Structure 1
């Protein structure tokens, strides 16, 4: 049985995008990137919303990303070697291999996928992850907290619901980023 892990980069005030839609506030750091790659290498299936999928697809379709360094090549390989499920009502086809489009979020289908999985699943995209959190499907929340407050934008966690979280671990990175790992607890 696989776990469903929601991981995202957030500002200190909890946003994944600033008020202009930018998400470039995470300071550069090889150790943070290596942690993302390590997680990606352990994942069997990526479950993404359309917007995040379109941003991440470059890792597979644009070889210039992987050509920049061995660290970037490792991440690109991990992304390419992972099954992908994209939730979108707009996409007709995808430019990446091992990718399937689903039209509507289906909590039962995600639960079945988790039960049948021999590796963990990673869910990405705040709106999609919010649906999974509301359905009680997320087993772990991983927040890479950047040492910056952006003052507004798109929230990394769903609004309108209460989430009680149990701290599983933390990790400090040299650039001031903190990885906080939580397990959602039933309310």
Structure 2
């Protein structure tokens, strides 16, 4: 468990990834994910999630996808940002605090459920600071060639312990514990 634990849930980096290691295509395109993976395809993950901590860039992409009819409901939404939007979003709490405080705030909102970390940069920062318990990856059958990588080169080495993998249709799900 991470040091900022306030409930019994875990801090989980949860993402879909192309076979060549991208979590978003060129221009942060995410439509390819919905071709293979929908929230109703992962009901156990949705049921285990109580809150999401999202980076600002990922929030903007998710907002665009929601307007296009692709929505993902993982509980209370918190966006960690240096620049909150001028127009508030009633469905989101914008946080401008330090990372550890943001994780603790979102963990508290998640209660006994998991906190999902969404966004490549935010996830890398959480991993670097030892705040992540697990990584859940949905490997999708597509090669994107370019886009947003699973992690930035600056992340450095993080040791993982595999503890689960499943195949459901075209989606391979991989689960890892972060070694601390």
Normalising TM by the smaller chain, what interval? Answer: 0.7 to 0.9
Residue of structure 2 in register with 1:68 after alignment: none
The one of 96, 103, 112 equivalent to 2:96 is 103
CA deviation after TM superposition for structure 1 residue 163, in Å: 1.7
Q: CA deviation at 1:109?
A: 4.6
Q: 2:164 aligns with which of 157, 163, 169?
A: 169
2:78 corresponds to which of 85, 90, 96: 85
| Residue 137 (structure 1) aligns with | 131
Q: Return 5+ residue gaps in structure 2 as ranges.
A: 1-6
Secondary structure in 2 matching 1:150: coil
TM-score by length of 1: 0.75
Question: Shift of residue 47 of structure 1?
Answer: 0.4
Asked whether 1:150 is paired with 2:144, we answer yes
Quick check: 2:160–2:176 contact (8 Å CA) kept in 1?
yes
Q: Deviations over 1:62-84 (max 9, x none)?
A: 5x83xxxxxx8xx66x44xx211
Aligned equivalents of 2:62, 2:139: Cα separation in 1: 20
Relative distance call for 1:52 and 1:112 in structure 2 (3 A) is closer
What pairs up with 1:15-34 in 2 under 5 angstroms?
15-26=22-33, 28-29=35-36, 32-34=38-40
Q: Is the 8 A contact 1:11 1:25 kept in 2?
A: no
Contact 1:57 1:96 in 2 (8 A): no
Deviations 1:33-90 (A, max 9, x none): 3244442332221100112223334687x5x83xxxxxx8xx66x44xx211101222
TM norm structure 2: 0.78
Would the alpha carbon gap of residues 95 and 58 (structure 1) be closer, same or farther in structure 2, given more than 3 Å must change? farther
**Structure 1: 5+ residue stretches without partners:** 66-71
Aligned residues: 170
RMSD: 2.8
Q: Is contact 1:111–1:137 with CA below 8 Å preserved after alignment?
A: no
**C-alpha spacing 1:83/1:20, structure 2 compared with 1 (3 Å):** closer
